Structure 1
Amino acid sequence: MKLRLSLLLTIALLTRLPAQEFFVSPHGNDRNPGTIDRPFRTPERARDAVRTARLDRSTKDRREVTVWLRGGTYQLARTFELTQEDAGTSAAPVTYAAYRNEEVRITGGMDIPSASFHPVSDPNILSRLPLESRRDVLRADLRSLGIRDFGRHRQFGHGLPVVPASMEVFWCDSVLHLARYPNTGAIDIGEIIDPGSKPRVGDYTNRGGRFRYTDPRHAHWAGLPDVWLQGFFNYGFADDKIRVAAIDTVRHEVTLSAPHMYGLGSGENFNQYVALNILEELDQPGEWYVDTLSGNLYLWPPGDIAGSRVTVSILEKPLIALDNTSFLVLRGLIIENGRGLGISVEGGADNRIVNCLVRNVGTVGIMFGQGARQTFPHITADDYEGVPVSREVGSFHSHMYLNSVWDRHSGTRHTVEGCEVYNTGSGGIILGGGDKKNLVPGGNLVTDCRIHDFNRRNKAGAAGVIVDGCGNRLVHNEIYNADLQAIIVHGNDHVFEFNHIHHVALNSNDASAWYLGRDPSDQGNLVRWNFFHHVGRPDRKWTMGVYCDDATCGVLIEGNVFYRVASYGTVYSNGGHDIIVRNNIFVGGYGPVYQLKSMWYDFGADEIPYFFGEKGIYTRRLTKALDITKPPYSERYPLLKDWLDLLPDGTTYVGMRPRRNVFERNLVAQYDETFRLVGEFAQTDFADNYMTKKDPGFVDPDRLVFQLKDDSEVYKRIAGFQRIPFEKIGPRKPEERK
């Protein structure tokens, strides 16, 4: 009898109950029961109803719950939070989804009624506007609509925290531009009068630089209170946005209010900037300006204002936050118009973000794990001090640089699938997860997504996807339209497969499509079966495809296709070890197909103490953050153990001399330059490669189909060359993902 009761109980527990459903509509009421006929009004009310329903432990683990959001706009005054209290289970997940593919918009902004816009009549404002725009610019009084938080412009850029945007304006889902000069292109930095202080070398006197301007238009901005310049003020990988302190119209000089990390520089074709936040430059459709004193928005509409949706961003916090929760699904939602993050995920496991659209946010679209908040009072690099913080990016890069095994609490086995992330201010997705110190994989995944146009504000470090930790995957994605990197990597054992990466590193220098650098322990990363094309520009001398920087080690680059990639090396290594380049197709590059610099015997000779010294970066990362002479590193990467050993000469470290690099069984077609090895001990073993100026038998090169025909001569020329599954690269259709 007891056995029978036990069996019946087990069957009851394993039997899945019908899904429980709640409905939400912008036209609903939170006093309603949440049915399809009488829906709730807010997602928060539905969340609370789910919590109540799941208090019944007899059904909690067996009944899925779905919150159906009906079409319309849900304006958030605060973050929509889902916590451990809202978690589902593996057998009974909790889902928040658009009902029957209706358009569900979760917004951190506010729509401005077209009736609120009027022609400008104030003579003082009209006199400031360009003559050609006075009849077309409209004014809306935001304060009369209850909007009083306009945000504020803040300095951001290389080595600085990622900060929320000030108020931005969107027109029918597209980003409009803050009034600027010039409308297209940029202004060359003129003669440097004073580079300003240089925080990168420990100069914290906080002196803004001074330079001679090259465009007489600057004279019109003298005396204006809040003019900002954004551009590349020294190196081509380090952008900055800095407020103007003064414009001297006699000497034709601009003085900046704060220093740039490296001090000002000029003379390179990327040493340029644009001027922002200037009412006097509101001179074309699609530009706008907010007067924070009066609360007036001035807009030259790009179309008929009647019936068009004009939205201003308001919410600085993430629109949605998943905190230490698991088995939650967000499906088919549009998340948009915030000043900060779109979605923040911290901790938990097995959450899924599926077929969502994340756009028009001020910083990053989706972030897994913590960011950081700087506590050191100045712009800095090596002297950085800070603390981890939830729900913001902040000083993520600086904190990671000084804490290479930082566990950001990104959770495990999370998935972003079939999403589109675009028009973001400071990057697309930050994907953490896993334990680098102990080499425990996170198992987090970004797959079948389109990520593009993610550098609206930050350029440096604002990649399409940043991956850190250990054992995460980025597969079947398309990443494109970027000023700098598509992918930035920290950590170990990550997999990058079947991605289509193109038109990136378009406005930068010393930049690439895929980047990993400055930590020899970041090993086991796989770059396989990807298609890279149109990376960099021929007129920028330092752009790369796959960039293994500053002694990167242990990367396998296999089965990729590269076309029109980079000026300084389609594959480039600065002093790396164990870089294996195998079975790839390289076509039509405008620089060397492969370059390795033995950096310590070239440009890095003066920096050996900075890297190898007692307090050097490598010493900290290989002996203090972790120990390469002990498990798990000594077992997983035994060839790394002697990296910091001195050679018999007593001054040279083992890690200074590249070893075990291989370039084999690759097709190199239509390259003017093939290999470039620079510096003593620049070692690479070349074997069984085929180089030709002809078409070796591509299926359709005019349509960028670089699959080899079955009868291509390559299979005869390179013994063992494996067919690359070119047709599988990029996002798949939903039915192909299973």
Structure 2
Amino acid sequence: MLCDLLVLFSLFNFSSGFLIPELQNVHLYVSPTGSDLNVGTDASNPMRNLHRAIQRISEPDIQNKNIWIELMEGFHDLNSTLIINHRNDYRRITIRAYQNQKVHVTGGKRIPSNHFTKVTDPSILQRLSPEAQKHVLQTKLSDAGLTDIGQIVPYGKYILRQAPLEIFENGFPLTLSRWPNYGFINITNVPSGQRYSTVFQYNSDRPKKWANQSDIWVYGYWYQSWADKAVPIKTIDVPHKTISLAQPTHFGLRAGQTHPGGGYFRFINILDEIDEPGEYFIDRTTGMLYLWPAFSKGLYSSNDVIYGSMINTCIQLTRYTSNVVFENFILEACRHFGIQAQDSSNITIQSMEIRNTGSYNVYCRKDCRNFVISKSYLHDGDGGVTLQGGDRPTLTSSNNFIIDSEISFFSRVTSSDANAITLDGVGGHIEHNIIYRGQYTAIRWTGNDHSIQYNNVFENCMNSSDCGAIHSGKDWAARGSVIRYNHIHHNLQYYYGADVRGVMLDDQYSSVLVEKNVSITYEFAETRLLQYNAGHLNIGGGRDNIVRDNIFYNSTKFSIQVDGRGSAHRNDKSLMNILNKLPYKDTLWTSKYPNLVNILIEHPEEPRGNQIYKNIFYNSGKQYTVKWDPHKPAWFDVHSNIISNSTNDFNFPKLPYADFRTRCALTTFVKSNHLTTPILPGQTGPRYHVGPPFVTPRPSWLLGGSHGNQPSPQGC
């Protein structure tokens, strides 16, 4: 009897509430050297195309069976978007590398290495620098079947980038030729004096060398240092150093490198500016590709793999698709998304590497449920993951997970809104990830009841300001989320503007628990750097936020900054609109978030109910510990914290290992306040191998490794 009950229990689907029939498994084999005339059920006679394998799923001989699509070694180039339409609560489709072989699924075409030759055309050579003339190679793209070059279109904040054809060398994204190669130049003047003008002046003689160049674009932060956009140039008056743009920018124009920031840009898409390894240019009139190889010193060899992206989204799950697994292969060279879905459920992306996408690596919008990304390596996209799901009015959890993964170089072209993770809805989990090297925000969340924990987050906000590595804002009702057990460190700010922070609770965001984190800045010298980690955390006028049991070590300006910005604009329409769409006075909401029900009759513009207590602060100079003005206890209750600013004590004896287990003078404070042992680097980040089995692991020092596990020094 017990055995029978266990069998029934194992077959019950809790999400749908019915018994799952026990299904047979069918394996379909796909190889770049196979034939689509084969039925594909035998590894010795595989099909050729992944598209054909997806078609086979609905054929009579394998209907109502679990399908394992086994991808055999090699490059599987898609000729169009792979569309998966599978609305089934019990039948599973798994697409994986066969026996962990080296498998690439691409949205591009390979350019044979022997197609590249040295540039010999005198009219082209004279436009290149003497050094570039030695290295730049050329090829006609149509000779390799790349006939759809595409067009550059505007991208930046509020725009999901749609890339034209891009070039990738041995898995590495090359850079569209630009000047300057690093950093930006300033707008020096807006002649009309009007903010929303499209005409501005710059101070550089560089454009004088760009002979016969058309289709020049500019990319920059035109008015705000948190809002970027790429736009085409209408005309450029080189003698007078004046540019007229073909369309408006976000928020207008201002002169650069002044408070509050913005007003800086670079030129892009210029043949003459192929002046360092890894840059390329495509002549859209002749179809010629010119590039300076990133790694090769001369002509490419047969071992070099050069790809051009061709299709937009590589894999698309139609609306309501469910029960699909992707496992153990590389997905790359997509002009838009790597994997796109909407209202999908029970989707697993496991041990994958998704790279080199024109927009987000993974993008699932509206109501995605039980969507899991685990042990995966996502990088060099224009955004890492967007994941929406759950139902806010009923507070129904999405049960979505991004876990044990690595997300890096995630804002490859765009900065603002190209986040490593954009999480929305209810009940999402961002846990045990390492997230680094981004131009703007690592984790941007909205909604309720999320957990953000055991992550290692560093070197973000690189080209922007007014940025938080972990960031949310403008919502009184987004309650119930927790940020705990994270290492957050070294946000970088190169340009003027509002401060960069570790955790940013922007524009009256309310009611998050921030606890047991280690937020760090070590001093280091870099000539371009304006500041790093201006602050570890800010509360921008919100309510009921709790900050406790954290270590805030060093900062440029302040450990925590708080303010009452809402008091200047009591009736914020966007805050009211969000609140009024939610049943915040219903029993479910009042029982879970009791402080919210009376918000509109309790001076909602005031940042009441915030608590900052039992934290450890260290600053090496005169930085603020908690910066606020004015000081109102009803707004910010700050108590029972300790400041350890002596550089001569041994309270933090193992800083090179980011080990903040307190000793000596802090021991009594820690024990009497029952604080937890600080999280060690080796306890954050992925716990398993990240990416397909054949991908070489990143160094242990990067992923956490044994940092913080060194023997403790004796004595005080």
TM over 0.5: same fold?
A: yes
Q: CA–CA distance in 1 between the matches of 2:8 and 2:611?
A: 61
Cα separation, partners in 2 of 1:19 and 1:249, compared to 1, 3 Å: closer
Secondary structure of residue in 1 paired with 2:188: strand
CA contact (8 A) 2:425 2:448 kept: yes
Cα separation, partners in 2 of 1:542 and 1:232, compared to 1, 3 Å: same
1:263 aligns with 2:264: no
Cα separation, partners in 2 of 1:165 and 1:417, compared to 1, 3 Å: same
Q: CA–CA distance in 1 between the matches of 2:9 and 2:519?
A: 56
Q: CA–CA distance in 2 between the matches of 1:184 and 1:11?
A: 57
Residue 238 of structure 2: aligned partner: 249
Which amino acid in the other structure matches residue 588 of structure 1? N
Aligned pairs for 1:528-677 (under 5 A) are: 528-537=484-493, 540=496, 542-564=499-521, 567-601=533-567, 605=568, 607-609=569-571, 611=572, 616-623=573-580, 625-645=581-601, 654-671=603-620, 672-677=623-628
Q: CA–CA distance in 2 between the matches of 1:8 and 1:137?
A: 65
1:279 aligns with 2:271: yes
Aligned pairs for 1:477-496 (under 5 A) are: 477-496=433-452
Fraction of identical pairs, as percent: 28
Which amino acid in the other structure matches residue 104 of structure 1? V
Cα separation, partners in 2 of 1:681 and 1:8, compared to 1, 3 Å: closer
Which amino acid in the other structure matches residue 728 of structure 1? Q
Residue 349 of structure 1: aligned partner: 345
1:178 to 169, 176, 179: 176
CA contact (8 A) 2:462 2:494 kept: no
Q: CA–CA distance in 2 between the matches of 1:517 and 1:18?
A: 49
Residue 687 of structure 2: aligned partner: 732
Which amino acid in the other structure matches residue 733 of structure 1? Y
Q: CA–CA distance in 1 between the matches of 2:357 and 2:494?
A: 32
Secondary structure of residue in 2 paired with 1:659: coil
Which amino acid in the other structure matches residue 254 of structure 1? I
Q: CA–CA distance in 2 between the matches of 1:8 and 1:109?
A: 46
Q: What's the CA shift string for 1:458-517, capped at 9, x where partnerless?
A: 111111000001111110001000111001111111110111100111221100101111
2:82 to 74, 80, 83: 80
Shift of 1:696: 5.4
Gapped runs of 5+ residues in structure 1?
A: 1-6, 199-207, 370-407, 648-653
Shift of 1:455: 1.1
Shift of 1:716: 4.6
Residue 409 of structure 1: aligned partner: 367
Q: What's the CA shift string for 1:517-568, capped at 9, x where partnerless?
A: 1111111111011110111338755111111111111100011010019554
2:380 to 413, 423, 432: 423
Secondary structure of residue in 2 paired with 1:316: coil
Q: CA–CA distance in 1 between the matches of 2:556 and 2:455?
A: 22
Secondary structure of residue in 1 paired with 2:244: strand
Aligned pairs for 1:478-517 (under 5 A) are: 478-517=434-473
Shift of 1:11: 12
Aligned pairs for 1:191-230 (under 5 A) are: 191-194=189-192, 198=196, 208-221=197-210, 224-230=213-219
Shift of 1:287: 1.3
Shift of 1:730: 0.9
Q: CA–CA distance in 1 between the matches of 2:311 and 2:436?
A: 27
Q: What's the CA shift string for 1:433-474, capped at 9, x where partnerless?
A: 101232211111100010010112211111100000111111
CA contact (8 A) 2:94 2:326 kept: yes
Q: What's the CA shift string for 1:614-642, capped at 9, x where partnerless?
A: xx21222222x224333443443232223
Which amino acid in the other structure matches residue 275 of structure 1? F
Cα separation, partners in 2 of 1:585 and 1:46, compared to 1, 3 Å: same
Q: What's the CA shift string for 1:3-27, capped at 9, x where partnerless?
A: xxxx999999999566432211111
Q: What's the CA shift string for 1:137-156, capped at 9, x where partnerless?
A: 22211123332211111112
Higher mean displacement: 11-20 or 669-678: 11-20
Secondary structure of residue in 2 paired with 1:655: coil
CA contact (8 A) 1:690 1:718 kept: no
Secondary structure of residue in 1 paired with 2:599: coil
Residue 336 of structure 1: aligned partner: 332
Q: CA–CA distance in 2 between the matches of 1:169 and 1:327?
A: 34
Shift of 1:162: 1.3
Cα separation, partners in 2 of 1:193 and 1:65, compared to 1, 3 Å: same
CA contact (8 A) 1:579 1:661 kept: yes
Secondary structure of residue in 1 paired with 2:459: strand
Cα separation, partners in 2 of 1:114 and 1:642, compared to 1, 3 Å: same
Secondary structure of residue in 2 paired with 1:724: coil
Q: CA–CA distance in 2 between the matches of 1:704 and 1:350?
A: 38
Residue 398 of structure 2: aligned partner: 442
Q: What's the CA shift string for 1:650-705, capped at 9, x where partnerless?
A: xxxx1111111111111112353201112475721122211102465446311223
Cα separation, partners in 2 of 1:109 and 1:687, compared to 1, 3 Å: same
Residue 691 of structure 1: aligned partner: 643
Residue 526 of structure 2: aligned partner: none
CA contact (8 A) 2:313 2:340 kept: no
CA contact (8 A) 2:317 2:344 kept: no
1:324 aligns with 2:320: yes
Shift of 1:324: 2.0
Shift of 1:158: 2.3
Shift of 1:73: 0.4
Q: CA–CA distance in 2 between the matches of 1:22 and 1:229?
A: 48
Q: What's the CA shift string for 1:583-634, capped at 9, x where partnerless?
A: 1111122221111111145xxx2x445x1xxxx21222222x2243334434
Secondary structure of residue in 1 paired with 2:135: coil
Secondary structure of residue in 1 paired with 2:511: strand
Higher mean displacement: 187-196 or 106-115: 187-196
TM-score, normalisation: structure 1? 0.84
2:55 to 32, 48, 53: 48
1:456 aligns with 2:423: no
Q: CA–CA distance in 2 between the matches of 1:111 and 1:241?
A: 28
1:678 to 604, 608, 629: 629
2:289 to 294, 297, 313: 297
Gapped runs of 5+ residues in structure 2?
A: 1-5, 12-18, 523-531, 691-702, 704-716
Which amino acid in the other structure matches residue 409 of structure 1? D
Q: CA–CA distance in 2 between the matches of 1:65 and 1:222?
A: 58
Matched length = 657
CA contact (8 A) 2:463 2:494 kept: no
Which amino acid in the other structure matches residue 617 of structure 2? V
1:38 aligns with 2:45: yes
Residue 382 of structure 1: aligned partner: none
Higher mean displacement: 530-539 or 351-360: 530-539
Which amino acid in the other structure matches residue 31 of structure 1? L
Q: CA–CA distance in 2 between the matches of 1:339 and 1:572?
A: 37
RMSD after superposition? 2.9
Residue 430 of structure 2: aligned partner: 474
Which amino acid in the other structure matches residue 283 of structure 2? D
TM-score, normalisation: structure 2? 0.86
